[in-house]
Amino acid sequence: DAGITQSPRYKITETGRQVTLMCHQTWSHSYMFWYRQDLGHGLRLIYYSAAADITDKGEVPDGYVVSRSKTENFPLTLESATRSQTSVYFCADSLAGPSDTQYFGPGTRLTVL
Amino acid sequence: EDQVTQSPEALRLQEGESSSLNCSYTVSGLRGLFWYRQDPGKGPEFLFTLYSAGEEKEKERLKATLTKKESFLHITAPKPEDSATYLCAVQLIQGAQKLVFGQGTRLTINP
């Protein structure tokens, strides 16, 4: 039972580069979420998806792009990375939406130099 | 502005010393309140959901309660393995697709 996985676990990149963080779930849950976690801010929602091909903005979407062509995958792309995007990124999923239990992946620690 | 505040930021207890963590919220309308546990280097792990004032939920040494303004996570006779950061989050009635998280309480249980 793999659950929800993220890759890479650690990434160092340079300002201006494009970076894609991967998220994969094995449960076929409808909803998927991307959060970032920063000291002083807690977890903040970047984007979410209610189903394949349905995505919507969260609290802090600027500078990020998502897609969901398959139910099990929800990649997050930083089109031109900035230092302010240095953070720990968590993917989560839930069967029926935010009011249902959200299961989190192990996180990706991204450093933008 | 919708806000979730957790206190204290950090708490050190001796093994067996019971205490409570607080999550206070000022939101326009509460649909549900969630408690998560987060170990270092890992993603949050779900503990409880509370939906209405007066509701209580228990799991092993943890009990969560909810009032109209705040939630408490009571930990009874804690063990070192209960050391973690505990996060609370609220789901709003409006903008219900997101959870608003507090910054967490870092709990350390010394043997």
Which residues have CB under 8 Å from B51's CB, separation 6+? B31, B32, B33, B66
Average pLDDT, chain B: 93
Contact between B91 and A40 using a beta-carbon 8 Å cutoff: no
Note the pLDDT tens digit of each residue in B41-70. 999 999 999 999 999 999 999 999 999 999
Interchain contact A90–B (C-beta under 8 A): yes
pLDDT at residue number B96: 59
Interchain contact A92–B (C-beta under 8 A): yes
Contact between B99 and A102 using a beta-carbon 8 Å cutoff: yes
Q: How far apart are CA A101 and CA A2, in angstroms?
A: 17
Q: What is the mean pLDDT of residues A36-49?
A: 91
Q: How far apart are CA B47 and CA A4, in angstroms?
A: 17
C-beta of residue B16 within 8 angstroms of C-beta of residue B77: yes
Chain B residue with CA closest to A10: the answer is: B41
B73 pLDDT above the threshold of 90: yes
Chain A residue with CA closest to B47: the answer is: A101
Q: What is the mean pLDDT of residues A21-36?
A: 94
Q: How far apart are CA A52 and CA A68, in angstroms?
A: 5
Q: Which residues pair with A5 in a beta bridge?
A: A24
pLDDT at residue number B95: 63
